[in-house]
């Protein structure tokens, strides 16, 4: 990869082996496999250090989350339906490991409301359109990550959140309230409301963690679906077509032009998927209302 000019390389460790997938438990097999995968991860770490590239420890957080989640939800709660390939919950843990390795800081933005002064400010990616009577109207181009599904269901992203610091470290959309004029306040974001102590709001709360159902969800899931559509196209395009170009040329060397047209036709279609994702990632308008309870 270095010889080919790749600018950023991340070596990822293996994930884990999760026998608790509804097909019967085999603790001995699970323990042996995971010991092996852990040892392979140690080798990956050494290789990354020797080569001076980034390392993503996938195995450790997946093991930790698997143990804690199964203790809460039962032995049929798994991170991988076939014991190896992650379900939606496991994919979120994998994403966490690689995003951390890439150095993502997790700051989606901060909205600061000064109720006494009647002022509202927001960091980059968020614009205050208006602020009156405790309600801030905002427009945001930076989305917090949104989660879906029944927490007790493996093919969902909500159930694993309490077992690793995804929101704390990678998904911080903070609300800070100054000079509230009361000891307890109600925060309404979209259709949901929660009450907080004024002292907690002065320190700041993470809206992305506190309000899993929020005004970003609809747009976020539209973009997410389009990204999945692109991925569902790219997987067979690369694995079955591009990967086999040398084979096709060895079989029909006189058809190089035709093979190139097919490959470029796929690339053109892939670009259309990408453009659809970009077009769907539109600014989200939303409001935050803070009122004094007592």
Q: Is the dihedral of CA 270, 140, 123, 210 positive or negative?
A: negative
d(CA 162, CA 158): 8
The whole-number pLDDT of residue 70 equals 87
Judge whether residue 272 has pLDDT over 90. Answer: yes
Residue 238 has pLDDT above 80, yes or no: yes
Q: How do residues 145-165 score in pLDDT, each as one tens digit? A: 999 999 999 999 999 999 999
**125-141: average pLDDT:** 97
Estimate the crossing angle of helix 27-51 against helix 59-73, to 10 degrees.
150
Beta strands in 17-92 (DSSP E): 54-56
Q: According to the model, what pLDDT value does residue 21 have?
A: 61
196: left (phi over 0), alpha (psi -120 to 50) or beta: beta
Residue-level pLDDT at 74: 85
C-alpha to C-alpha distance for 36 and 185, rounded to whole angstroms: 52
Average pLDDT, the chain: 94
Residue 290 has pLDDT above 70, yes or no: yes
Of 14-23, 58-67, 73-82, the range with the highest mean pLDDT is 58-67
Could you list the beta-strand ranges (E) of the chain: 10-12, 54-56, 107-114, 119-122, 126-132, 135-140, 172-178, 184-189, 192-197, 205-206, 284-292
Residue 242 contacts by C-beta under 8 Å, 6 or more apart in sequence? 263, 266
Predicted confidence band of residue 131 (pLDDT cuts 50, 70, 90): very high
pLDDT at 209: 97
Average pLDDT for residues 6-34, to the nearest whole number? Answer: 83
Per-residue pLDDT reduced to its tens digit, 184-221: 999 999 999 999 999 999 999 999 999 999 999 999 99
d(CA 225, CA 219): 10
By the 8 A CB rule, do 215 and 189 touch?
yes
pLDDT of residue 108: 97
Interstrand relation of 172-178 and 205-206 (parallel, antiparallel or unpaired): antiparallel
């Amino acid at each position: 990869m270095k010889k080919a000019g790749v600018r950023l390389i991340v070596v990822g460790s293996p994930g884990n082996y999760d026998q608790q997938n509804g097909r019967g438990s085999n603790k001995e097999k699970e323990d042996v496999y995971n010991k092996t995968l852990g040892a392979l991860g140690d080798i990956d770490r050494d290789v990354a250090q020797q080569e001076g590239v980034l390392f993503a420890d996938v195995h450790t957080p997946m093991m930790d989350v698997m143990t804690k989640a199964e203790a809460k939800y039962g032995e049929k709660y798994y991170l991988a339906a076939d014991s190896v390939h992650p379900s939606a919950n496991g994919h979120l843990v994998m994403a966490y490991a690689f995003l951390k390795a890439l150095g993502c800081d997790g700051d989606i933005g901060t909205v600061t409301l000064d109720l006494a002064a009647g002022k509202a400010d927001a960091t980059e990616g968020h614009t205050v359109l208006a602020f009156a009577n405790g309600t801030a109207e905002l427009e945001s181009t930076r989305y917090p990550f949104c989660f879906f599904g029944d927490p007790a269901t493996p093919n969902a992203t909500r159930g694993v959140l309490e077992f690793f610091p995804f929101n704390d470290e990678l998904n911080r959309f903070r609300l800070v309230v100054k000079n509230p004029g009361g000891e307890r306040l109600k925060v309404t974001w979209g259709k949901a409301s929660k009450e907080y102590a004024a002292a907690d709001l002065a320190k700041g709360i993470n809206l992305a963690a506190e309000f899993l159902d929020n005004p970003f969800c609809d747009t976020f899931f539209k973009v997410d679906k389009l990204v999945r559509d692109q991925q569902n196209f790219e997987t067979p395009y690369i694995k079955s077509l591009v990967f086999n170009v040398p084979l096709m040329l060895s079989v029909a060397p006189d058809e190089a032009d035709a093979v190139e047209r097919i490959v470029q036709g796929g690339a053109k279609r892939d670009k259309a998927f990408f453009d659809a994702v970009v077009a769907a990632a539109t600014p989200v308008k939303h409001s935050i209302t803070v009122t004094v309870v007592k």
